[in-house]
Amino acid sequence: MAESDLGRAADAERMRGYFAVQLLLAARVAELRGLPLGDAALSVTNLHRRFGLGRPEQGAAPAWADYAERLQGLASAEQRLDWTVGFFAARPPEAPPEGHVRFGCFSFEPPDADGAVRIHFNNRDSADGIGPLASAKRPARLAELSDMFACLRRDYPSARTVNGGSWLYNLDAYQRLFPPEYAASRSRPERLRLTGTSSWGQFLDHRGEVKAPVRQAFIDNLDGLDPLAPWRAFPLHALTARAPVERFYDFYGRERS
């Protein structure tokens, strides 16, 4: 096996627990709604994206059918998990989302026609064993945000508002990185999409391992699952936040001086 294949196989093994919990929800939704398991997995897991097939909202990529067909033919949860881990291992690595501009752990999508900018977070700073949101790393995160908003101000004059949506907005460790007005704007959307990381990310710790207490709380909620509102089974409900971009320019300008 080539070295890159070995690395990919190891990555797939690290994802096993994360995939397992997602397949649990898919199986429960499939059971309660009478759906094929592949269809449920497409709508309530982020597997389509983790397989590098992009966003599934416009319909599944052709390769998904190969995954889903075999998934549905397997008898046990263990076999389905093995198949999922193996399918991931055989896929090329996921490409970074098109058009996103990255600064360390943060990235943004350039302004849309209304000047709305969407920001994202991904863990890219834990090789030292310390989580990226630890208070010791707040200066590093603020420096990334400061650079990001300096770039936005310089290169994207049409930017008007900043929007985010994630489970992370429940955490003080995340809120303290943003202007108070943005953190104070947090609200709880009625419906959530489960095809990305905005809810699923809460299962992972900074080592990429599944957090056992979060998994247990989620499993406990599956018994009473409302299959039309499966996001309610997540211990933390993803929140949205929004504020004018000037608040960010002021806030990081002050943080810099």
| Interacting residues with ligand COA (CB under 6 A) | 120-123, 131-135, 166, 168, 171-173, 197-198, 201-202, 204-206, 214, 236
Cβ proximity of 166 and 236 under 8 Å: no
Q: What's the min distance (Å) between Cβ of 55 and ligand COA?
A: 14
Provide φ and ψ at 91, rounded to 5°.
-85, 150
Residue with tokens 């898919």: 26
Q: What's the min distance (Å) between Cβ of 240 and ligand COA?
A: 11
Q: What's the min distance (Å) between Cβ of 172 and ligand COA?
A: 6
Closer Cβ to ligand COA, 30 or 194, answer by number: 194
Closer Cβ to ligand COA, 26 or 133, answer by number: 133
Closer Cβ to ligand COA, 63 or 173, answer by number: 173
Q: What's the min distance (Å) between Cβ of 115 and ligand COA?
A: 21
DSSP 145: H
Q: Which residue is nearest to ligand COA (CB)?
A: 201
Closer Cβ to ligand COA, 67 or 203, answer by number: 203
Q: What's the min distance (Å) between Cβ of 217 and ligand COA?
A: 9
Coil, helix or strand for 37? Answer: helix
- CA nearest 161: which of 56, 248, 221? 248
Closer Cβ to ligand COA, 12 or 68, answer by number: 12
Closer Cβ to ligand COA, 8 or 50, answer by number: 50
Angle at 206 between CA 177 and CA 92, to 5 degrees: 110
From residue 83, give the alpha-carbon distance in Å to each of 75, 77, 175, 203: 11, 10, 38, 21
- CA nearest 71: which of 52, 47, 91, 50? 47
Q: Name the token pair of 101.
A: 């501009």
Q: Name the token pair of 137.
A: 């790393």
Q: What's the min distance (Å) between Cβ of 200 and ligand COA?
A: 7
Determine how β-strand 161-166 pairs with β-strand 239-244.
antiparallel
